[in-house]
Amino acid sequence: MRIASVEVHRCALPLVRPFRTSFGTEYTKDVLILELTTEDGVVGWGECVAAPDPLYSHEFNDAALLVWRDFLIPRVMGRELTAEDVPSLIGAVRGHPMARGALELAILDAQLRATGESLATYLGSSRTEIPCGVSVGIPDDDSLDTLMAEVAGYIADGYKRVKLKIQPGWDLVPTRLVHETWPDMPLQVDANQAYSRNDIEHLVKLDEFGLLLVEQPIHEEDYLGHKLLAERMITPVCLDESVLSVDNAESLIDYGACEIVNIKAGRVGGYLSAKAIHDMALARGVPVWCGGMVETGLGRAANVALASLPGFVLPGDTSASDRFYTQDITTPFVMNDGLMTVPTGPGLGVAPIPDILAELTVSRVHVA
């Protein structure tokens, strides 16, 4: 396969409600969509999970555009390649896993569309549907009533697991209230690095709620802090932002800094790396689950395929399209009794609807 051209669509998708975490509030999804065309006329799609600003991660959209144009895409143009060649071809470029992952996904999508194989089958899927969890942000008005109404709606929709975003000052009270109101609903919390080692004794108080896990409570580089917390807590410690590669993930497990791994393909450089982390964790009996980055239908399709692998034993953030968008760029993903069907079509199994993509695109850049 040879790449003929690469276009980037910068899209703006209004969210159905603000999504607030410890590092900021998102009102509109500003997302970069890669459209890659091969010399044989096959089109592959990739989605970059970076944000407009470097708050969740050091990566951001304008940087992704630059690194694609000047460093990554020139390394894959003009040569015969497969998706499996991409990590070594772009390996000399340090960092930028979200940009790398989006390019790899577009190439992989084109390759699989050409061969007629689905991404789920390619990765090693073991099921035809997956359970859906939902991530609940901190209410924009800091209201417990607002939180409870939102959670009640998601439970009525059929979600199999609830994740609450927490931060200092918004942790024990909302978690207790949700747990006591729905004691049988699997519940977990996510701090997005909002705490420090000094907060360990406070975080241990979360143990009373029987949580599935506490996700990334301390800064991503503080491995010792997470180890100390894991030694004190009954609740399993799960790492997210700290996990960058299969070697790094295995080291964190061996060190005792985490007992569960959240695999986000964009954060670890793509779905080939994500599968490697899954395979390592499965071999070691370590639970994994698929995190979300407020993806459009393209990234959601890829995540659902990933989450259908056998090691994903906990519900992920693979919510329905209408959790975030009134209008997705693809045919909407829907749930049935809390389950979502794994796409079986070639590649991602979905593609942007042309009229909707054009409507939501605010700029378009010819990169190669």
DSSP-derived pairing of the beta strands 129-131 and 339-341: antiparallel
Active site residues: 165, 264
Cα separation of 244 and 230, whole Å?
A: 20
Contact 364, 48 (CB under 8 A): no
Q: Which of 346, 317, 348, 315 is nearest to 331 (CA)?
A: 348
Cα separation of 330 and 33, whole Å?
A: 12
Between CA 22 and CA 147, with CA 180 as vertex, the angle to 5 degrees is 40
